[in-house]
Amino acid sequence: MATSSSGGVGPTTVNGITRFSGLSSGIDVDSLVKKLMVAESGKLNRLKQAQQMDTWRRDQYRTITSDLQALTDKYLNVASPDSMLNEGTFQQFTVSSDSGAVSATAGGKAVKGTHKVKVNQLAKAAIQTSAKGVSKDVAGSAKPDYAALKGKSFLIQVDGTTRAVTFDSDYNPANQTGVEYVQAAINKAIGTTTDSKGNAINKVTVSEDGNGYLKIVPTEGGGAGSIAVGDVDGKGAFAALGFKAGSILSNRLNTAASLSAIGQELKTPFIFDAAGEISFMINGKEFTFDKDDTLDDMMNTINKDKDANVTMKYDENTDQFIITAKNTGAGKTLDIVDTAGNFASKVLTDKTEGQDAIVEIDGQRLTRSSNSIVQDGITYNLKEKTTTDATIGVSQNSDGIYAKIDNFIKDYNALIKKLNDKIGENYDRNYPPLTDEQTGSMLENDIKNWNQKAQVGLLQNDSVVKNLLYNMRSALMSSVQGQMSNLAQIGITTGAYSEKGQLHIDPDKVDKLKNAIASDPQSVMDLFTKKSESYPGTLTVRSLDNKQRSIRTQEEGLAFRLYDIIQDNLGIVRDSNGRKGFLLEKAGSPGDASDTSSFLAKDMETLASRIKAEQKRLDTLRNRYYMQFSNMETALEKLASQASFLSSFASS
């Protein structure tokens, strides 16, 4: 309600209506009405307090929901590496290899033992490439003027290292040719190297082509690859060297250049069709590129396409285009055909077919398209061809299994303690939610401390959480059909009564758990991961009736039983009775229909309606008070006027 006033006596504006109060009586009407309304606001305050408590309870239930979901995601989700539902959690192995040519990993279906592996042939992917050195060599476009080079410089970059080449002596054709003159200056700038036999050779070789134009190429056997040249401002040697329009200044392609420019820089140029495009099919997928598209555009488009299933790159080291099938193995895994222009036929001229891996495992010869071969639960990763057998050892990783169980117990205990602490809190009725009037007269820190105390004990002895805890404890401490029928048999017990269901691997029983894992990992695994034969999996539990659910519980292991209990509380799928999980029915979940249909949501909605109605009643009452005081002021004003008249009449 909007109000404005300059004091208790005088005009007051309420909801756009100006009232004149206290002008005749001198009474502070605003203050008096405010006190009357405070006395009448008890019901409204109680409704708002109830709404606030519902909000706090809902938030605390949802915190419990989040904690349960976190435990489920880590330990009761078949996709999690820590899942207690997965057999692989209880079938861990340590794998060794005496050869760098073969490594291996063991899955849940592996068994302890030793295996002999001989790699006769590695699988390779099909490759289609250009010839090495596809780009034109660095070359001028005019005859050099060697006599004009003295005092001038140019830049040369060899494999990323840039040096300035300076001609600091006169060219003397009687002592050396022009090519030797340039070669000597370059050698002075970048140095020389040696070949495989230790003989001194140039890194790059300078020569003249049939037109007498200068060429600079990597020396064979010298190890150099990319070469680029550039002019120097002021005393540039480019003009004298013959590097003019049309010259080739680098023997490597710029992948950011257009395909039109790329085509002109290749030793064997390709052509576009009449529309200025090239098209080709890779493994049945057609690609079309415009002459203004860059080489990067082409490679990125091809590499992202899942249907082509290849990778394309430009290898700057070898100056070569390479297209490689993503799948190794023999067969038709790489097929490239021009459909417009001739890029594929002119550039991608060399093809190497893929091949299968050929391996002998424990004397059995296998042929596979991949270098990763799965046999009897073991994945063999082939890296090199071998001439003798590699030995692969597989042993039980008892410590790894123990660590998984131990981590689960620690996180489960932390959750159990948190839930027990929550329902064990004592509610203090001396700290109800603050009213608006109370909040307005308190410091911010005092309000914070009060609200913290007011939220303690809101779930004291809560039946939903108590049932959840009881059912979780029962699920884990009950017996399972099998050789290992309960946790106590593998050294896991409940703690003291005060710990209310927490689990412990007792210090004096650690060896018992480790021995059980080492001696009978199958039984330990079954204790947790055994599935119901009648109603298996994680998706069926919400659809079962009571009889079916009882059968499922009898047939399954502890982890599945715990999963079922948590789904009883968190399940968003409605059960056979048409209900969602207990916690969702109680407090809802953001993003789910239960957010607005839960018990607390409906109660809060009802309270909101009652608050609105009560607020309306108080507004009406407030207006009535003001009207009554206004009428009183009017009556007093009339009496005062009459008294003044009579007094004036009498005196006259």
List the chain domain ranges.
3-40+601-651, 47-88+400-597, 93-123+357-396, 127-131+257-352, 141-241
Confidence band of 640 (pLDDT split at 50, 70, 90)? confident
Each residue's pLDDT tens digit, 238-280: 999 999 999 999 999 999 999 999 999 999 999 999 999 999 9
Instruction: List the one residue out of 16, 17, 50, 47 whose CA is nearest residue 616.
Output: 47
One-letter-per-residue 3-state SS of 545-585: CHHHHHHHHHHCCHHHHHHHHHHHHHCCCCCCCCCCCHHHH
What local confidence, expressed as pLDDT, does residue 482 receive? 81
Each residue's pLDDT tens digit, 337-385: 999 999 999 999 999 999 999 999 999 999 999 999 999 999 999 999 9
Instruction: List the one residue out of 222, 225, 258 whose CA is nearest residue 138.
Output: 225
What local confidence, expressed as pLDDT, does residue 26 receive? 65
Q: Which fold has domain 127-131+257-352?
A: Alpha-Beta Plaits (3.30.70)
Share of residues in the chain with pLDDT > 70 (%): 96
Cα separation of 507 and 502, whole Å? 15
Each residue's pLDDT tens digit, 19-59: 555 555 667 777 887 888 778 888 998 999 999 999 999 99
Between 522 and 634, name the one with better pLDDT. 522
What local confidence, expressed as pLDDT, does residue 596 receive? 92
Q: What is the pTM of this model?
A: 0.64
Confidence band of 7 (pLDDT split at 50, 70, 90)? very low
The SS3 assignment for 341 reads coil
Cα separation of 95 and 396, whole Å? 9
State yes or no: pLDDT of 223 exceeds 80. Answer: yes
What local confidence, expressed as pLDDT, does residue 18 receive? 46
How is residue 161 written in tokens? 């290292």
Instruction: List the one residue out of 134, 452, 418 whose CA is nearest residue 295.
Output: 134
| Contact status, residue 322 vs residue 312, Cβ threshold 8 Å | yes
The arithmetic mean of pLDDT across residues 86-105, rounded, is 92
